Amino acid sequence: MESLLARLERRFGRHAPEGIILWIVGISGALHLLVFARPDVAHLLWLYPDAVLRGEVWRVVTFLFAPTGPVTGYGLLWTAIGLWFLHTMGSALEAQWGSFRFDLFFFLGALGTLAVGFALGPVSGRYVAEALLLAFAAEFPDFEVLLLILPVKVKYLGLFSGGLMVYALISGDFATRAAVAVALGDFLIFCGGTLRSRMRGARVMRPKVAPAFAPPPRKARVCAKCGKSDADDPNLEFRVCDCQERCHGKLTEYCLEHARSH
């Protein structure tokens, strides 16, 4: 799968739009504000295949971002925090994968969920966002978020979210199970290699840092007249001169030959 993604990226990567997470966050925020101001329009945003076939085509997009219930003032606060975190996750994944892979990850999940909705009945787009959280947890497991005042590594949030998805996969109706399966499949396509590496205990290569007590590297000695250095010949001998006639009182290094004749 990794090789297939690489081939697709080489062929189509230059056409991938950048920064679609801004559109995702913006549309989601706008729809939550709309439902907060007009709760009666919420049902116009959900995915009902019959309504789409009657011409309400906006539903194929809005169902991914619309709230599934009423939005209160307190709920808007949590929505704002959630959208900020969504933007953080999306920006980090796009930087990690590149725009093509991130866009493909989102659109595959969205189109798969849309297909489930048309084939099996109305579904929510929440599992697309949860797949994004799983991907972020797989790529950046040690990233910390504050839950109230407690710092929590995102890998634990990913495990919790994954547990809820598995529960929905077991206990949900057929459409919900299919939507969860699409989201998990999307996650495994793009993060399966990362998970396998972590399960095998592969270490992330880090640049080597010299210990604090290590002496600084010695600067090579270079003859001011001929340009030879002890990097070229470790046996080369040098002398320092500060004569006024040629060196003008400045400490200057010469190889042994030119120290005698400069």
What is the per-residue pLDDT for 218? Answer: 53
Cα torsion 245, 247, 253, 254 to 10°: value is -40
Q: What average pLDDT does the segment 113-129 reach?
A: 91
Asked if 47 and 59 touch (Cβ cutoff 8 Å), the reply is: yes
The answer to whether residue 82 sits within a structural domain is: yes
| Position 163 pLDDT exceeds 90 | yes
What is the per-residue pLDDT for 195? Answer: 80
Give the mean pLDDT of the chain: 83
Kindly state whether residues 141 and 46 are assigned to the same domain. yes
The answer to whether residue 162 sits within a structural domain is: yes
Q: Hey, which residues does 239 pair with through a beta bridge?
A: 254
Residue 262 — very low, low, confident or very high, per pLDDT cuts 50/70/90?
A: low
Kindly state whether residues 230 and 181 are assigned to the same domain. no
Q: 111 vs 213, which has greater pLDDT?
A: 111
| Position 230 pLDDT exceeds 80 | no
Kindly state whether residues 170 and 229 are assigned to the same domain. no
Query: What is the DSSP code string of 5-38?
Result: HHHHHHHHGGGPPS-HHHHHHHHHHHHHHHHHH-
The answer to whether residue 208 sits within a structural domain is: no
Kindly state whether residues 232 and 174 are assigned to the same domain. no
pLDDT in tens, 242-251: 677 777 666 6
Residue 163, classified by CB atoms within 10 Å of its CB into exposed (0-12), middle (13-18) or buried (19+), is exposed
pLDDT in tens, 178-194: 999 999 999 999 888 88
CATH number at residue 122: 1.20.1540
The answer to whether residue 41 sits within a structural domain is: yes
Lowest mean pLDDT among 28-37, 134-143, 164-173, 200-209: 200-209
Kindly state whether residues 166 and 249 are assigned to the same domain. no
Kindly state whether residues 77 and 24 are assigned to the same domain. yes
pTM assigned to the model:
0.71
pLDDT in tens, 67-114: 887 777 777 888 898 899 999 999 999 988 889 999 999 999 999 999
Number of domains in the chain: 2
| Position 217 pLDDT exceeds 60 | no
Domain coverage including residue 258: 218-262
Kindly state whether residues 141 and 250 are assigned to the same domain. no
DSSP code of 118? H
Q: What average pLDDT does the segment 121-128 reach?
A: 88
The torsion angles phi and psi of 103, rounded to 5 degrees, stand at -60, -45
The last residue of a domain, from among 169, 199, 229: 199
The answer to whether residue 23 sits within a structural domain is: yes
- 6 token code pair: 């690489």
Kindly state whether residues 179 and 227 are assigned to the same domain. no
The last residue of a domain, from among 172, 199, 226: 199
What is the per-residue pLDDT for 205? Answer: 46
Kindly state whether residues 182 and 250 are assigned to the same domain. no
Kindly state whether residues 130 and 20 are assigned to the same domain. yes
CA proximity to 32, closest of 86, 89, 80: 80
SS3 212: coil
